Structure 1
Amino acid sequence: MSHPLRHHIEEITPLSEAEFDYVLSHFTRKKVRKHQFLVEEGEPVPHEFFVVKGCLKAFNVDPEGKEHIIQFALEDWWISDYQAFFREVPATMLISSLEEGELLTISLANRNKLCAEMHKIEHFFRLKITSGFIAMQQRILAGMNLSVQERYEKLLTLYPNLSQRVPKQDIAAYLGVTRETLSRLRRV
């Protein structure tokens, strides 16, 4: 069985064994505990994370203490506070693990080095960023144009296993509703 990162990259571009070994040498393996914080607001963000196993969430906490979830990341997904990572400024959000898991981390310097040295990897990351940008636009448009019920149904359609792995209050925070509203939606 191929390595999860290799499989992920090769969905876009093929790699030789030597190329993949070189790419992998720029990553660090990291085990995470349930509820472990990987990024904290105001701190530097030295890594982008590829989820090998587990589930993470990126979120912000407003002045009233309410969580607003920006993104979940399951296996084969990437996550970071991208503004902080790419601009090398303090984090404006938090990232924590919802499950025990395993990640591959890459620094900005290593990411830039790989992209400069390997056109295939630059192409891969460019397509991943483009896909992420499109997904974020779709999420914003859904928030403006769809009812809460429609957004919930779309979330379940796109990510059918998410509701079994993510606490209900986190799904509610992602949708921008209360847990009680989510309970009513689930009964419909």
Structure 2
Amino acid sequence: MHAYLLDYIKTRSHSPITEAEVSLIKEAFIPKKLRKRQFLLQEGEVCKYIGFIIKGATRQYTVDEKGYEHILNLSIEDWWVSDRESFHKETPSIYNIDAWEETDFLLLPKAEGYYERVNNIPAFNEMRIQLDDNHHIASQRRLHDSIYHTAEYRYEELIKQHPEFLQRFPQHVIASYLGMTKETLSRIRNQSVRK
């Protein structure tokens, strides 16, 4: 599992990784397996880890007072998952993160200074900055699309950006992620099939 993460870091940075840094990464990242619907984080808990998905799929969501789930993020292999606000500020999370499929993670804990020590590895830090920039751009675009574009446009963008989501997650999860009802998504899908 650690070799997979090390390859991932190397392909997203120009800095070399020393043997000492490899040892620190192997020491810091903890393997974890979750069954489907098992929680990595539950609302009210303080997030203690940043997780890298080796295999599987997760969702990050809130549940409103009527019991409806509102999905903020869907994640699959090679994606990072966490509630960053809870992790960095050490405040109770407003989110749930659970495994949608059986999922294998490598978890980086904040405890014992592991997060800070790993962030001081130039290759890891370079990768993290690049991912943070990409995440910010994607979040901005998603927010813009939810404000200014139709449900049809949002669905078409999802097909372009993440076609694998349609294979990995059911229609009601995709609908929630896109901010629409499953009936609206069903209508859009039927219209696109007819085109």
Instruction: Please give the TM-score of this superposition, normalised by the length of structure 2.
Output: 0.90
Task: Name the structure 2 match of 1:123.
Answer: 126
Task: Name the structure 2 match of 1:182.
Answer: 185
Task: Name the structure 2 match of 1:93.
Answer: 95
Q: Deviations over 1:35-57 (max 9, x none)?
A: 11111111111001100000000
Equivalent position SS for 1:63: coil
Alignment of 1:55-66 (within 5 A): 55-66=57-68
Letter of the structure 1 residue corresponding to residue 117 of structure 2: K
Q: Deviations over 1:109-157 (max 9, x none)?
A: 31111223x2222222122222111111111011112110110111111
Unaligned stretches of 5+ residues in structure 2:
none
Q: Are positions 1:45 and 2:47 aligned together?
A: yes
Letter of the structure 1 residue corresponding to residue 165 of structure 2: L
Q: How many residues align?
A: 187
Q: Given that residues 4 and 76 in structure 1 are in contact (C-alpha distance below 8 angstroms), is that contact kept between their aligned partners in structure 2?
A: no
Q: Are positions 1:114 and 2:118 aligned together?
A: yes
Equivalent position SS for 2:28: coil
Q: Given that residues 10 and 123 in structure 2 are in contact (C-alpha distance below 8 angstroms), is that contact kept between their aligned partners in structure 1?
A: no
Q: Are positions 1:150 and 2:150 aligned together?
A: no
Alignment of 1:160-179 (within 5 A): 160-179=163-182
Among all aligned residue pairs of Structure 1 and Structure 2, give the percentage whose two residues are the same amino acid.
32
Letter of the structure 2 residue corresponding to residue 149 of structure 1: E
Letter of the structure 2 residue corresponding to residue 90 of structure 1: P
Equivalent position SS for 2:126: helix
Equivalent position SS for 1:113: helix
Q: Deviations over 1:17-72 (max 9, x none)?
A: 62334323210000110111111111111001100000000001111211111101
When structure 1 is superposed on structure 2, of 152-161 and 107-116 the one drifting more is 107-116
Letter of the structure 1 residue corresponding to residue 42 of structure 2: E
Task: Name the structure 1 match of 2:32.
Answer: 30
Letter of the structure 2 residue corresponding to residue 38 of structure 1: L
CA RMSD of aligned residues (A): 1.7
State the alpha-carbon separation in 2 of the partners of residues 15 and 164 from structure 1.
36
State the alpha-carbon separation in 1 of the partners of residues 174 and 187 from structure 2.
13
Equivalent position SS for 1:106: strand
When structure 1 is superposed on structure 2, of 125-134 and 87-96 the one drifting more is 125-134
State the alpha-carbon separation in 2 of the partners of residues 21 and 69 from structure 1.
36
Letter of the structure 1 residue corresponding to residue 119 of structure 2: C
Instruction: Please give the TM-score of this superposition, normalised by the length of structure 1.
Output: 0.93
State the alpha-carbon separation in 1 of the partners of residues 6 and 176 from structure 2.
33
